[in-house]
Amino acid sequence: MEVKSLTADSDPNLQVREPKLIKVRMFNKASLVIPGTLISLVILTIYGFYSFDYKDINFTKAVGMTIDNVKTMFAEPKFNHFTFGKAFYQVMVTLGLGFLTTLFGAIIALFLGLCAAQNLTNKKVSIVIKGFVTFIRSVPTVLWVLIFAVAAGLGSEAAVIGMTFHSVGYLIKAYSEAFEEVDEGLMEALRASGANWWQIVFQAVIPSTITYLISWTFLRFEINFAVAVAMGAAAGAGGIGYDMFMASGFYYDIREVGVITYFILIIAIVLELGATKVKRNLKTGL
């Protein structure tokens, strides 16, 4: 009796499955550190909630009161301590503070961003500038405002300087990375034709990156508007942020806080729509 083994050659209809490779994850330091860190954070969070002094707060009652306050804030907005005209003026002050700091920051960052781009300047200069702006970005805007307030005093001057300083650090990174993405072949062609550094910048670099520059600038403008609201309360810069601080912390008028929040939300939506329209028109023009 002969025993025949079935193979793909002897039986064409027989499907032979290829053996699958089994991936074995090697044990390394990262596979231990990352889960260990996450587990430690979870344990510390649970311990923090457990050991916090809640002073016999009834959570069910607290949640109910919070829901009632939010409902009153957004469903019953009302002016009590200032008029619609004054609120609109204060919003424009905050908007002007955000616009001014963004404008100053963009002008300074445009030149320094060109110097920080490795394809446009010396590598050592690029490293020094990027290292400096990394330090600027690592410090929150509020701290920069308070640092400059030591010299200028609390008010709009310290807010403008501090917000501009942080905007410069933010935009230099964004602009330089956009400049470094420019096609090197285009720049080499201009160099071969005898173009100098400024001609390369204005004929190749800026036209190729203008949409990115506009996008990053508008994004920073929106950030600065939000920061200007906070600075109105924290640094005495005025504007709608100061009125919100007074309504919430001094008068404790949550209806007035609600109407101020609506004002800020409307301005934020208008800024987003305006930025989208400008970028769309710019792309169409190009």
Residue spans of the domains in the chain: they are 82-285
The H or E element spanning position 247 is none
Contact (Cβ atoms closer than 8 angstroms) between residue 217 and residue 171: yes
Q: What is the pLDDT of residue 1?
A: 47
For residues 59 and 57, give the distance between their C-alpha atoms in angstroms, rounded to a whole number: 6
Residue 283, pLDDT above cutoff 80? no
For residues 97 and 78, give the distance between their C-alpha atoms in angstroms, rounded to a whole number: 26
Average pLDDT over residues 114-133: 88
The predicted-structure confidence for 44-54, as pLDDT tens digits, reads as follows 988 887 787 77
pTM of the model: 0.73
Identify the DSSP state of 236: -
State which CATH number among 2.60.40.10, 1.10.1740.10, 3.30.1490.20, 1.10.3720.10 fits the domain covering 82-285: 1.10.3720.10
Contact (Cβ atoms closer than 8 angstroms) between residue 240 and residue 87: yes
Residue 28, pLDDT above cutoff 70? no
Q: What is the pLDDT of residue 63?
A: 84
